[in-house]
Amino acid sequence: MIDLHCHSTVSDGKLPPAEVVRLAKSNGCTLLSLTDHDHTGGLAEARAEAERLGLAFVNGVEVSVTWRGRTVHIVGLDFDEHNESLQNLLVRVRQGRLQRLENIATKLAKKGINGAYEGALALAANLEMASRTHIAEFLIQEGHVRNKQQAFTKYLGDGKSCSVKHEWADLAECVAAITAAGGIAVIAHPMRYDLSATAKRNLFEEFKAAGGAAIEVHSGNCSKNDRLNYALLAERYGLLASAGSDFHRPNDFSGGVLGACPELPESCRPVWQMFQQAKC
């Protein structure tokens, strides 16, 4: 089984990289990629553990991108993690995260919810990767909301009262940085974006024109019908197919089972057939 999208404590996951690898292996995974948000700091640890366990491993990262005023995510796979252009882009995106966090905390304070910035930092294992997820955890911890979904619905989601618009990486520059590092650019969880058919077509066309190569046909706990629909879209746009659990933490049923993605539809051309650096 293959899983090319998961997270560790280097971004907003709950398990350290080595533990992510061990759990994936115990779930039957045969090929894994760790794709922390905007950071490659966990790859060395994950790779070393994968080699120890005999699990094939490929470099990964999930980059935050602003496309036509919307946030989308691009996964990079099988790249040189030491590539200077890619690392410079990731540093810039991470610096923007903290500024956005401060701005959200300021809005929350105006509603009488104080300490959100410090609270989020205290909950983040990696301070420079503190995110809206950590603010949501703070709001839950302080009793302002019942769960993560309510935090985003009431305060943090796009267009909500404490939402802060932010310009992440540009789509074309993100894809260029990944491909310049020898990697493959993948549109992450396209089924989660609230896009019209026209907007979705524009996203796929611009992505491919920039050098993008694949989309996630399976993500998280998406349905068989989703997989079939996105397999058809991948075929229509000449894109390879990827699959990932988008795992963040154990017992979180909003994501898939780490390392245990279902098989892709037969029409798909799997992205892993293009990998050069996967090793076990």
Q: What is the mean pLDDT of residues 246-273?
A: 90
45 and 59 in contact (C-beta within 8 Å)? no
* 62-72 tens-digit pLDDT: 999 999 989 99
Evaluate whether residue 147 is within a structural domain: yes
Within this chain, do residues 52 and 149 fall inside the same structural domain, yes or no? no
Q: How far apart are CA 31 and CA 21, in angstroms?
A: 10
Evaluate whether residue 279 is within a structural domain: no
Within this chain, do residues 124 and 209 fall inside the same structural domain, yes or no? no
Evaluate whether residue 217 is within a structural domain: yes
Q: How confident is the model at residue 91 (pLDDT cuts 50, 70, 90)?
A: very high
Within this chain, do residues 10 and 142 fall inside the same structural domain, yes or no? no
3 and 243 in contact (C-beta within 8 Å)? yes
Within this chain, do residues 86 and 125 fall inside the same structural domain, yes or no? no
pLDDT at residue 217 in the model: 97
Evaluate whether residue 162 is within a structural domain: no
Within this chain, do residues 210 and 223 fall inside the same structural domain, yes or no? yes
pLDDT at residue 253 in the model: 64
Task: Look up the domain containing 148 and give its range.
Answer: 95-156
Within this chain, do residues 63 and 201 fall inside the same structural domain, yes or no? yes
Residue 56 belongs to domain with CATH number: 3.20.20.140
Within this chain, do residues 6 and 116 fall inside the same structural domain, yes or no? no
* 16-58 tens-digit pLDDT: 999 999 999 999 999 999 999 999 999 999 999 999 999 999 9
Within this chain, do residues 11 and 145 fall inside the same structural domain, yes or no? no
pLDDT at residue 279 in the model: 57
- pTM reported for the whole predicted model: 0.88
The number of helices, as runs of H, and strands, as runs of E, in the chain is 9, 8
Q: How confident is the model at residue 130 (pLDDT cuts 50, 70, 90)?
A: confident
pLDDT at residue 125 in the model: 74
Within this chain, do residues 78 and 177 fall inside the same structural domain, yes or no? yes
Instruction: Say how many domains are in the chain.
Output: 2
Residue 183: how many CB atoms within 10 A of its CB?
27
Within this chain, do residues 69 and 112 fall inside the same structural domain, yes or no? no
Within this chain, do residues 176 and 215 fall inside the same structural domain, yes or no? yes
Secondary structure in 3-state letters for 209-228: HCCCCEEEEEECCCCHHHHH
Give the mean pLDDT of the chain. 93
Evaluate whether residue 200 is within a structural domain: yes
Residue 124 belongs to domain with CATH number: 1.10.150.650
